[in-house]
Amino acid sequence: MSSNRKNQNTGTSAIWGGRFAAGPSAVMEEINTSINFDKRLYAQDIRGSKAHCKMLVSRGIIPRDDGEAILRGLDQVLQEINDGRFEFKSVQEDIHMNVESRLAEIVGEAAGRLHTARSRNDQVATDLRLWVRDSIDGLDDALQGLQRVLIGHAESHAGTVMPGFTHLQAAQPVTLGHHLLAWTEMLGRDRGRLADCRRRLNESPLGAAALAGTSFPTDRHMTAKALGFDAPMANSLDAVSDRDFALEFLSAGSVLAVHLSRMAGEIVLWCTDQFAFLRLSDSFSTGSSIMPQKRNPDAAELVRAKAGRVLGSLNTLMVVMKGLPLAYGKDMQEDKEPVFDAADSLELCIAAMTGMLAEAEFNTGKMRTALEQGFVTATDLADWLVRVLGLPFRHAHHVTGALVKTAEDRGCGLESLSLQDMQSVEPGITDDVYSVLGIDESVCSRTSYGGTAPDNVRRAAIEARQRFLED
C-alpha cells in the first residue's frame, strides 16, 4: 500500500504520516489541532507565503513558473476564504497546512515547493507578529476616536464646574473638561505603549526555518521588507522561540484595560441617582426584568469587568512561556487564544466607551450642586492665609480646619461664615477672604501648568487635539 493511501485510510496528516504508521487518537487530534482558532491568521499567513515565494523565485531557489502558479493559487485561496467558500479541515491541524493543502489541490505539485527554506516554526511566528501588528494599528485608530470624543466634550465643558474627588469624597472644585482631559492623557500613554510594542515587534522571523536557519541562499532582508518589517531577526533560535512581542502586547493591553475599567467605573458612579452627573443614551442602557424604574449602565459595567479577561490573558501566556527551553515547543500553540481574546475584548471595550461617551448627556446643574457639600474651597482658604497673611502653611491648615469645624457645626458653607466668626479663629482675616471662597473663583485661580482653570483647559484641549489627533 502506498504511503498516500495509508494516510488516507488512517486519517494521519500527510505532513507527518511518513514517520507514524497509525493515525492519532481522537484525543490527540483534538488537543493537537489549532485550526479552530488560528484560522484567524489566514490573511497574514497568505501574505507571508507570497513574500516567501517571491523571494524563492528571485533567488533562483524555485522555478519562476512554479512561483507564478503558487502566487495565483494563494490569491485564489485568499478569495475563497474571504467569500466563505473555504473548508477548514481539522485533519490538517492548522492554518498553514490548510492553506498549503488547498493550494496543492489548485496548482498541483508546484505547491510543494512553497515550503522550501522555511518551517512552520518561523511561519507561525511571522503570522502572529503580523496579526498583532495589525491589531495594534486597529486599536490605535480606535483609541484616537475615543480621544476625539473626549477632547470634544472637554472643549465644550472647559468651564463646567464639578467636584474633584480624593478617597471618593469631594476635595476641590475642578472642571468637567479637566477631568475628561485626564482620561485623554491616560489613553495617550496607552497609545504610546502600544506604539513601543509595535516598534519592537517589527522584525521578521521568516527564513529562520525550524531553529537553525537554512542552507538555501535565501534573502531574509527581501522578505522582511516585503512584509513591512524593519529588518529580519538577527538570531534564528530567538526568531522562532520569542513571544516577547505577544507578552508586551498583552501587558500594554492590560494597562489599557485597567484604564478603560477605571473610566467605566466612574461612568457607573456618575449614572447613579446619588451622583446623577451623567445620563447614558438608551442605546447603552438596559432595564430591569422586575423593576420598571431601573436604568442600568450595563455597557459601562461590562467594560469594567472585561479588564479581568485581558489581565487573565497576560497571566496565561506568562505561565505558558515560563521555563520553556529554546527553541520551539508545542506549548507555544497556546499563545494565540489569549492574544486573540484580549484584542477582541479591547476592541469591543473601546467601541463601547466611544459610543457611550459620544451620546452621553452631562448634568451640569447636578455637578454644580454637588459642590455645595464637602467644603471644597477649604484649600483655597488655606492658600489665602499663606499668600495674604504670610502664615506658615501648617498653621494655615490648622486655622482652616477650625473654620471648617465652625461651619460644620452651624450647618453652612465657609462662604456663609461671618467675618467676625473667621476673626475669632484668626484675627488677621479680612473681607478679601471671600474672594477665594466661591466655586468659580476657586477653579479660575488654578492657573498653574496642568491646572483646572478654564483658560488652562481650553489651551490644553487645543494642545491635546494637536498632539493626539493631528500628529
pLDDT in tens, 178-234: 999 999 999 999 999 999 999 999 999 999 999 999 999 999 999 999 999 999 999
Q: Which amino acid is at 119?
A: S
What value does the mean pLDDT take over residues 456-465? 98
Q: How confident is the model at residue 7 (pLDDT cuts 50, 70, 90)?
A: very low
The secondary element (H helix, E strand) that includes residue 153 is: helix 120-156
Q: Which of 138, 132, 324 is nearest to 245 (CA)?
A: 132
Q: Which amino acid is at 368?
A: R
Please give the pLDDT value at position 373.
85
Strand 203-204 and strand 231-232: the pairing is parallel
Q: Which of 342, 371, 412, 399 is nearest to 197 (CA)?
A: 342
Report angle CA 30, 36, 42 to the nearest 5 degrees.
Answer: 135
What value does the mean pLDDT take over residues 315-335? 95
State how far the alpha carbon of 93 is from the alpha carbons of 15, 49, 82, 441, in Å.
10, 18, 20, 69
| Phi, psi (rounded to 5 degrees) for 144 | -60, -40
| 330 C-beta neighbours (distance < 10 Å), count | 9
Task: Determine the Cα–Cα distance for residues 271 and 358; give it in Å rounded to an integer.
Answer: 15
Q: How confident is the model at residue 290 (pLDDT cuts 50, 70, 90)?
A: low
Cell of 443: 477653579
Task: Determine the Cα–Cα distance for residues 178 and 458; give it in Å rounded to an integer.
Answer: 9
pLDDT digits (tens, 9 = 90+) for 11-68: 445 555 555 556 667 788 888 889 999 999 999 999 999 999 999 999 999 999 999 9
Query: Hey, which residues does 278 pair with through a beta bridge?
Result: 362
Contacts of 178 (CB under 8 A, 6+ apart): 154, 164, 452, 456, 457, 460
Indicate if the pLDDT at residue 315 is higher than 90: yes
Task: Determine the Cα–Cα distance for residues 344 and 254; give it in Å rounded to an integer.
Answer: 13
Indicate if the pLDDT at residue 294 is higher than 90: no
Contacts of 327 (CB under 8 A, 6+ apart): 121, 210, 211, 237, 240, 241
Helices H / strands E in the chain, number of each: 19, 6
Q: What is the mean pLDDT of the chain?
A: 92
This prediction's pTM: 0.90
Q: Which amino acid is at 157?
A: H
Please list the active-site residues: 167, 288
3-class DSSP state of 157: coil
Q: What ranges make up the beta strands (E) of 257-300?
A: 278-279
Contact 207, 32 (CB under 8 A): no
Task: Determine the Cα–Cα distance for residues 263 and 308; give it in Å rounded to an integer.
Answer: 15
Please give the pLDDT value at position 30.
83
Contacts of 4 (CB under 8 A, 6+ apart): 14
DSSP 278: E
Please give the pLDDT value at position 372.
87
Report angle CA 225, 228, 229 to the nearest 5 degrees.
Answer: 75
State how far the alpha carbon of 232 is from the alpha carbons of 125, 212, 318, in Å.
12, 14, 25
